[in-house]
Structure 1
């Protein structure tokens, strides 16, 4: 994700004012909250307590592993109503007497597990607790079908504005945001730890069209309605799932290696944004030279006409705000490696996504001729006395602080790391990292161990100063290698 610059400043204003970032909290009485915040695997299975992320303890469920979300939705832009059936194929990782899915606001009219009706109840802010007619045994595959509908909600976040399901200024709608967005339009195991394949069949009135993740499928028409189909077989985290409905102008092409590209432009955006998006093959070629082969089966873009507070790396096809530029395209496509293919394990690991994607913006500037060492030294002199710049931690920064520092201090930290270990270590380490963890999850401490092993250096002090501590690092870490003149 790349935040609009003025909203990065807004985060600081919000924090200084002592406001809390909006996040999910368990509902119910104190005893119930205490029970639900127990993040042990057994508690997650029995009480829907979550998947184990300490920042969002009520998110997800550790009792099963989703393999496929098969979503059939109907959306009417006129009434802004969405109706859907989510068919979810999963494998039980424990014996399940009951389990939960996350769903924001929408009404559920029926649930089946294994083709048989199941009991269900809503708990807290976002949990759909399901009790199948018979327990599911550990290791067993089971299929859950949830029928639901209503007017989707939007999540209002104090740091990045509106996310989740959003009605667009052009009359359509789109879903985007992190750490939460998917559950505003379908029930999900809403944790990055549970990545799954995706199928979407989205039915809209004729004249509207739908774009989602992955490969484009057949479009069918019936009775004044059109159904658009998309499929992403590469596992993806729920916050990287999107659906976007508008009167799109669609441009189809291919990358030099044959990877299909689908670009979607909302009304009024194509004249300005097509020249930017046309540089995607050049952008991906540079990123491949640094990070390894492009890890996705498709590529492209979704350009909305709205001044939302961020652009987002929705897998294979990023969503771009109206303000997005070429630097944003570089950032969101770097996420196809860092965040989408290799997904963080916990939100404390967000630097794995944002620091690396933000540094790709500097790599693009270097590609276009800029001397990054000169830039680093010049900007360092400007920022030496800035408490605001140096105070955020880049790892385990605390819930609500995930997006402080990673877009600016994170760039400096990675350039310093590059100079500490040298290019002959830094870039091969990035390529081996993306290869080893492709389509999986990883943590920031694992990344530190990976780079240290690749370099043969003792880097504990460096990582502590730059990523674990608050404040400006000492000069030995601030100006390593050729940065010290």
Structure 2
């Protein structure tokens, strides 16, 4: 995610009656109930225990004039324990029916985003099962926190750390990534964009039916759908990777920047290894968004998007999408690296800028400003995840690079990504991995940069190669 107005200091089936969940549904009291949350330190009710999702198949029918959204989501999962009841995360339209293994299931909505499902027959550990949820109703405009109404009358989905719950039920945690397919029906004059490969686009009377498939695992908040009167830009990388980008009616001004996507992907690949997905592109909306977001393979871009923003979101395809955070307290993994790529590495390698000098000037400017240091990079705290990682994260990574040397730094970060491909990791794991490659003890360095709320000591602020 990149925020608007951000100026980097360094470089500018059958229906069933709803039932109540038994009082014994407390997972601590009942071993046959899946936990309603996974205990993320910032969002403890995100995600659900007792099962692992393998695939989502989402079908929606959306009418832009009336904003009526009807959906049917089929989830393929595997039980990790005996389950007589389990939860999904869903905050979208009214649920009309639920089924488990194609048998009617009882359900109830509770809490902020919980959909509790009670299958007719208990689920057994280690066995696959399916859940289907049908729902319909007015689509609520979340204004950049999920389903969002565009000025054109269309709609798109964007938001971090939450967005998917506004339009389909899921296990909403980065820890349970799954493949994803979308089938969207809209009036014939509208177009549909989403993640992955477009597998079908057919007209049926006055309707258009478009299908998309994401064959690599994806976290829920990185899925999207966008409905508008798009124009398109089709490109290919030198290796043949297809690139499809879309522009809402008032976003055509971004086309020139997006034409540089092959170059940006090639650049990121030299840093972090082969591009991890089979397609790429971008979706340029014309809503008044305060951020752009790294939705997998096809970021959502706000109208203020510039080249630096595109480089940032493309870096996220490695840092955040291919390799995802274990908990939201690990957000520096995503944003520190994406910001460093866009704010330091691109200017240095593609524009010839002396980023060492930029680093020194930034430190000189903010060294005595307590507000600049008052939010730690590792575990920044509830409500503060999108703060210091943008402006201090690049400084930390540049200092780390200078501390251990380019050869060690770039090989280590590339190997770290490959070691966690399509999975999850954490800041403590990054620290341990980098330490295993370094020739000196980095304990004090990491503590000063990541955990403290004051400027690092001189020796860590200015490693030897940064001393003028």
TM-score, structure 2 as length reference: 0.94
2:199 alignment partner in structure 1? 217
Secondary structure of residue in 2 paired with 1:96: coil
For residue 53 of structure 2, the aligned residue among 57, 61, 66 is: 66
1:132 alignment partner in structure 2? 119
Q: Give the conservation status (yes or no) of the 8 Å contact 2:36–2:86.
A: no
Secondary structure of residue in 2 paired with 1:90: strand
Cα distance in 2, alignment partners of residues 199 and 44 from structure 1: 32
1:21 alignment partner in structure 2? none
Cα distance in 1, alignment partners of residues 246 and 137 from structure 2: 26
Deviations 1:283-305 (A, max 9, x none): 11111111111111110000001
1:471 alignment partner in structure 2? 454
| 2:173 is the counterpart of 1:191 | yes
1:4 alignment partner in structure 2? 4
Q: Give the conservation status (yes or no) of the 8 Å contact 2:34–2:50.
A: no
Q: Give the conservation status (yes or no) of the 8 Å contact 1:153–1:164.
A: no
1:159 alignment partner in structure 2? none
Change (3 A) 1:480 1:176: same
| 2:416 is the counterpart of 1:433 | yes
Cα distance in 2, alignment partners of residues 317 and 397 from structure 1: 28
1:413 alignment partner in structure 2? 396
1:22 alignment partner in structure 2? none
| 2:257 is the counterpart of 1:244 | no
Q: Give the conservation status (yes or no) of the 8 Å contact 2:8–2:391.
A: no
| 2:242 is the counterpart of 1:260 | yes
Query: 1:369 Cα shift?
Result: 0.5
Deviations 1:326-359 (A, max 9, x none): 0000000000000000000000000000000000
Cα distance in 2, alignment partners of residues 274 and 185 from structure 1: 29
Cα distance in 2, alignment partners of residues 82 and 219 from structure 1: 19
Q: Give the conservation status (yes or no) of the 8 Å contact 1:104–1:153.
A: no
Q: Give the conservation status (yes or no) of the 8 Å contact 1:249–1:267.
A: yes
Query: 1:153 Cα shift?
Result: 2.9
2:211 alignment partner in structure 1? 229
Query: 1:5 Cα shift?
Result: 2.5
Secondary structure of residue in 2 paired with 1:427: helix
Q: How does 1:195-344 map to 2 (within 5 A)?
A: 195-270=177-252, 272-344=253-325
Deviations 1:391-441 (A, max 9, x none): 111111111111110001011011000100100000001110111111000
Cα distance in 1, alignment partners of residues 146 and 205 from structure 2: 30
Query: 1:6 Cα shift?
Result: 6.0
Cα distance in 2, alignment partners of residues 177 and 7 from structure 1: 21
Cα distance in 2, alignment partners of residues 79 and 8 from structure 1: 41
For residue 393 of structure 1, the aligned residue among 376, 399, 419 is: 376
Count of aligned residue pairs for this structure pair: 452
| 2:337 is the counterpart of 1:356 | yes
Q: How does 1:16-35 map to 2 (within 5 A)?
A: none
For residue 111 of structure 1, the aligned residue among 98, 122, 125 is: 98
Q: Give the conservation status (yes or no) of the 8 Å contact 1:217–1:231.
A: yes
Q: CA RMSD in A?
A: 1.8
Q: Give the conservation status (yes or no) of the 8 Å contact 1:49–1:57.
A: no
Cα distance in 1, alignment partners of residues 111 and 7 from structure 2: 30
Query: 1:94 Cα shift?
Result: 1.3
Q: Give the conservation status (yes or no) of the 8 Å contact 2:34–2:49.
A: no
Query: 1:154 Cα shift?
Result: 4.1
Cα distance in 1, alignment partners of residues 467 and 78 from structure 2: 54
Cα distance in 2, alignment partners of residues 194 and 264 from structure 1: 29
Secondary structure of residue in 1 paired with 2:402: helix
Change (3 A) 1:155 1:468: farther
Cα distance in 1, alignment partners of residues 390 and 32 from structure 2: 36
Q: Give the conservation status (yes or no) of the 8 Å contact 2:36–2:114.
A: no
Q: Give the conservation status (yes or no) of the 8 Å contact 2:2–2:309.
A: yes
Q: Give the conservation status (yes or no) of the 8 Å contact 2:287–2:303.
A: yes
Which 10-residue stretch deviates more, 338-347 or 282-291?
A: 282-291
Change (3 A) 1:274 1:385: same
2:15 alignment partner in structure 1? none
Query: 1:269 Cα shift?
Result: 1.6
Unpaired stretches in structure 2, ≥5 consecutive residues? 10-22
Unpaired stretches in structure 1, ≥5 consecutive residues? 10-31, 157-161
Query: 1:44 Cα shift?
Result: 9.2
2:465 alignment partner in structure 1? 482
Q: Give the conservation status (yes or no) of the 8 Å contact 1:117–1:132.
A: yes
Secondary structure of residue in 2 paired with 1:134: coil
1:345 alignment partner in structure 2? 326
